[in-house]
């Protein structure tokens, strides 16, 4: 299914918490990050990351803080059990992270509602120990994703932008321009792109000239989409190797974010044994090319969505595909799973990688169409869906690392229009959830 956008909001509040050993049973040495985002008139979303900076595993954890006024849960939390008693929020392990290894971390979050002014947290405790607050780092260090959401590139030639410019008298044009076309978006590259080195080079060159960072999707794997609505791809293994090498070469030392082959790893099951082995080898080859030739690219291997593979199986496929040498993995591309579901699943996949291979990986989530969640099992332009939260880069160490509009709202899956074709009717309905 063809996946084709992206706007951003900086965290409204972020600070680093240094947690000492002041509890009776000696709280572990660790750091934690607290950040709020996605503010609306009566609420906001909280992201918390707790990292074990000590030498012994933490077998249990409880994080608490008290606001200046009462709050309530607006929707279910993710990756933690959360209880609220008036002004006080307490988060504990929900079974997914009973122990934090030395150097390891847990992340969780929740949407909160309030009345009156936005409340600020008081002293934060972890296992009873007070936390010392310092300013959080603003830039992730290695590898990069971009330091600020405003640094992401807005493509003036996106399908939504072109349609809005060409149809100024259409009553939907202003909304489509402001709500979709003016947001940063991922550009998809495949066989339709012509000479891939030229196409990628021109695109990242335009982004660099604007001092912005582009988001690109590589979508040309042989036997793409198992012959469904977005069927196609390179005609041979050698042709794909040439294509992906030229793609990586064109990026060079310019900063970029690349999502590699949406759905290709979850769809291994539609291939025979030889086809599965060949596809995994192509992923390994691609990862190597990006590592060696695109030195400032953050590469994310796609692993489908939270309703597809069990976390352990997703981790196994990512490891086999070479994720050890990539930045991370992507979730929910062109799908509709809620943030809470995707975030919990991503952490579970990263934890499974840690258990299987000794390392975890950051992940990103496509929020372009998940504002109303899924419509049952319908995936092909289902009615009543809505754009999700604008794209953002979360506080350093958060999971997910970023949420991005990877699928371009208004570009069809193959039912409302041909796969990848822009439909203004579809775009307008996604803006308002019709």
Q: Which amino acids are annotated catalytic? A: 225, 263, 413
Strands (DSSP E) along 175-296, which ranges? 186-189, 215-218, 256-260
β-pairing, 215-218 vs 186-189, is parallel
CA atoms of 394 and 371, how far apart (whole Å): 18
Instruction: Judge whether 433 and 371 are in contact, CB under 8 Å.
Output: yes
In sequence order, the β-bridge partners of residue 32 are 17, 50
The span from the CA of 151 to the CA of 166, in Å, is: 27
State the DSSP string of 167-181. Answer: -TTSTTHHHHIIIII
- Return phi, psi of residue 142, to 5°: -150, 125
Hey, what are 178's tokens?
């402001």
Helix (H) or strand (E) holding 83: strand 81-85
Distance, first Cα to last Cα, the chain: 22
Residue 189's beta-bridge partner residues? Answer: 218
Beta strands in 115-241 (DSSP E): 121-126, 129-135, 186-189, 215-218
For 430, the enclosing helix (H) or strand (E) is helix 424-432
Q: Is 118 in a helix, a strand, or coil?
A: coil
Q: Which residue has the tokens 């992940």?
A: 363
Helices within 39-194 (DSSP H only): 159-166, 173-176
């Amino acid at each position: 299914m063809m996946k084709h956008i992206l706007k951003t909001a900086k965290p409204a509040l972020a600070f680093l918490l240094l947690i000492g050993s002041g509890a009776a049973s000696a709280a572990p040495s660790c750091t934690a990050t607290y950040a709020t985002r996605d503010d609306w008139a009566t609420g906001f979303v909280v992201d918390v990351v707790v990292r074990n900076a000590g030498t012994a595993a933490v077998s249990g954890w409880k994080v608490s803080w008290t606001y200046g006024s009462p709050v309530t849960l607006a929707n279910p939390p993710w990756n933690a059990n959360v209880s609220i008693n008036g002004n006080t929020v307490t988060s504990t392990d929900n079974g997914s992270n009973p122990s934090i290894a030395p150097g390891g971390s847990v992340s969780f979050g929740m949407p909160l509602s309030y009345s009156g002014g936005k409340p600020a947290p008081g002293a934060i405790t972890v296992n009873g120990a007070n936390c010392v607050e310092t300013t959080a780092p603003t830039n992730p260090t290695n590898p990069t994703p971009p330091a600020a959401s405003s640094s992401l590139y807005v493509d003036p030639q996106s399908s939504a932008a072109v349609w809005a410019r060409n149809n100024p008298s259409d009553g939907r044009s202003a909304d489509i321009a402001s709500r979709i076309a003016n947001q940063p978006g991922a550009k998809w590259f495949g066989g339709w792109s012509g000479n891939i080195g030229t196409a990628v080079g021109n695109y990242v060159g335009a982004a660099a000239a604007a001092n912005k960072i582009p988001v690109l999707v590589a979508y040309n794997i042989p036997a793409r989409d198992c012959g469904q609505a977005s069927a196609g791809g390179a005609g041979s293994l050698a042709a794909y190797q040439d294509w992906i090498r030229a793609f990586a070469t064109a990026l060079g030392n310019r900063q970029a974010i690349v999502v590699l082959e949406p759905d290709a790893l979850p769809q291994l099951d539609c291939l025979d044994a030889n086809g599965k082995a060949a596809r995994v080898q192509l992923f390994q080859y691609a990862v190597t090319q990006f590592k060696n030739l695109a030195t400032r690219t953050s590469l994310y291997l796609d692993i489908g969505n939270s309703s597809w593979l069990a976390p352990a199986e997703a981790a196994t496929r990512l490891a086999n595909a070479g994720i050890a040498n990539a930045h991370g993995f992507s979730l929910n591309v062109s799908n509709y799973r809620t943030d809470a579901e995707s975030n919990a699943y991503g952490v579970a996949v990263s934890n499974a990688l840690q258990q299987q291979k000794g390392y975890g990986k950051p992940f990103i989530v496509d929020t372009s169409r998940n504002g109303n969640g899924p419509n049952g099992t319908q995936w092909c332009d289902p009615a009543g869906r809505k754009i999700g939260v604008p794209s953002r880069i979360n506080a350093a160490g958060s999971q997910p690392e970023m949420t991005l509009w990877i699928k371009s709202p208004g570009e069809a899956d193959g039912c409302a229009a041909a796969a990848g074709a822009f439909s203004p009717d579809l775009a307008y309905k996604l803006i308002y959830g019709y």
